[in-house]
Amino acid sequence: MDRSDILQTARQCRHYAMCKIDFLETGLCPAATDRPFVSFFPQGRMDLFSGVYEKRIPVTKELIHVAASCNLCGICDKQCHFVTGLRPLTVMKALKEYVQDFLGKGHVPEEFEPDDFLIELQAITGEKWASSDPAILLPYADDPSPGSPFTMPRYVVMPSSSSEVSKIIKLCGTEGIPYAVRGNGSSVIGFVMSTGLVMDMNRMKGIRFDEKNWCVYVQPGVSAFELQKEAVKKGYRVNAAEPSALMCANIMCSGIFSNFSHSYGILADNYINAEFVDDSGSLINLNQVDAPNLFSNEKMGRKSPGVCTDVGVKLYPLPEDEEGLIVPFSGMEEALSFASELGRRRIGNAVGVLGGEYLSVFVSPTEELARSIKDFFSRTLGIKYAVLVLADKYDRKIIQEMKNTIISQKLLTLLILGLADLNGNESLSMIEEYTGDREPYEILCDENILPLLESLIDSSPESLAQAVPEDLKSFYTELYSRPEMTNMVWLSMFRIISSRMGRFKHPVAFILYVPMDNIPLILEIDSEFKRIGDKHHIHNDYGFITPLDMGKRGVFEFDYYVDHTNDADRENCLNAMAEAQEMIEGFCSGANGVKWIKSVLYQGFCRSENLLYLD
Say if residue 303's pLDDT is above 90: no
Q: 331: pLDDT confidence band, cut at 50, 70 and 90?
A: very high
Given this model, what pLDDT does residue 315 score?
98
**Is the per-residue pLDDT at 188 higher than 60?**
no
Does residue 378 have a pLDDT over 80? yes
Rounded Cα–Cα distance for residues 364 and 42 (Å): 23
Q: Does domain 323-600 have CATH number 3.40.462.10?
A: yes
- Write the pLDDT tens digit of every residue in 215-268: 999 999 999 999 999 999 999 999 998 999 999 999 988 899 999 999 999 999
- pLDDT value at position 189? 61
Q: Answer whether residue 135 shows pLDDT above 60.
A: yes
pLDDT the model gives residue 430: 63
For 564, the 3-state DSSP assignment is coil
In the chain, CATH 3.40.462.10 sits at 323-600
What's 110's DSSP letter? B
Q: Are 542 and 509 in contact (CB under 8 A)?
A: no
Q: What is the pLDDT of residues 515-554, one digit of tens each?
A: 999 999 999 999 999 999 999 999 999 999 999 999 999 9
Residue 273, CB-side half-sphere exposure with 13 Å CA sphere: 14
List CB contacts of 32: < 8 A, sequence separation 6 or more. 20, 40, 41
How many Cβ atoms from other residues are within 10 Å of residue 293's Cβ? 10
Give 525-555 as a DSSP string: HHHHHHHHHHHTT-EEEEEEEEEETTTTEEE
Q: Are 164 and 124 in contact (CB under 8 A)?
A: yes
Torsion 230-234-239-242 (CA) sign: positive
CA nearest to 294, candidates 276, 316, 315, 313 = 276
Query: Amino acid identity, residue 147?
Result: G
> Residue 92 above 90 pLDDT?
yes
What does the CA dihedral 258, 260, 266, 271 come to, rounded to 10 degrees?
-110
Distance (Å, rounded) from C-alpha 461 to C-alpha 479? Answer: 8
Q: Which helix (H) or strand (E) holds 95?
A: helix 89-104
β-strand 197-200 against 155-157: which pairing, if any? parallel
For the chain, residues classed under CATH 3.30.43 are 137-200
Give the pLDDT of residue 564: 92
Dihedrals φ, ψ of 480, to 5°?
-85, 5
State which amino acid sits at residue 32.
A
pLDDT at 358: 86
The percent of residues above 70 in pLDDT, for the chain, comes to 97
- Residue 376 sits at the vertex; the CA angle it makes with 370 and 377, to the nearest 5 degrees, is 90
What does the pLDDT read at residue 434? 61
Is residue 512 within 8 Å of residue 308, measured between CB atoms? Answer: no
In the three-class reduction of DSSP (H, G, I as helix; E, B as strand; rest coil), residue 333 is classed as: helix
Q: What is the pLDDT, as a whole number, of residue 431?
A: 65
Say how far apart CA 105 and CA 83 lie, in whole Å. Answer: 38
Q: For 480-497, how does the pLDDT look when each residue is reduced to its tens digit (9 = 90+)?
A: 999 999 999 999 999 999
Q: What mean pLDDT comes out for the span 340-363?
A: 94
Quote the pLDDT of residue 522. 98
Domain 207-317: CATH class, spelled out: alpha beta
Query: How is domain 137-200 classified at the architecture level of CATH?
Result: 2-Layer Sandwich (3.30)
pTM: predicted TM-score of the whole model, two decimal places = 0.95
Q: Which residue ranges does the chain devote to CATH 3.30.465.10?
A: 207-317
DSSP string, 153-217: -SEEE---SHHHHHHHHHHHHHHT--EEEESSSTT-SSTT--SSEEEE-TT---EEEEGGGTEEE
Average pLDDT, whole number, for the chain?
93
**Strands of the 215-218 sheet, one edge to the other:** 207-210, 215-218, 307-314, 271-277, 283-285
Please name the amino acid found at residue 529. Answer: F
Phi, psi angles (nearest 5°) of residue 392: -80, 180
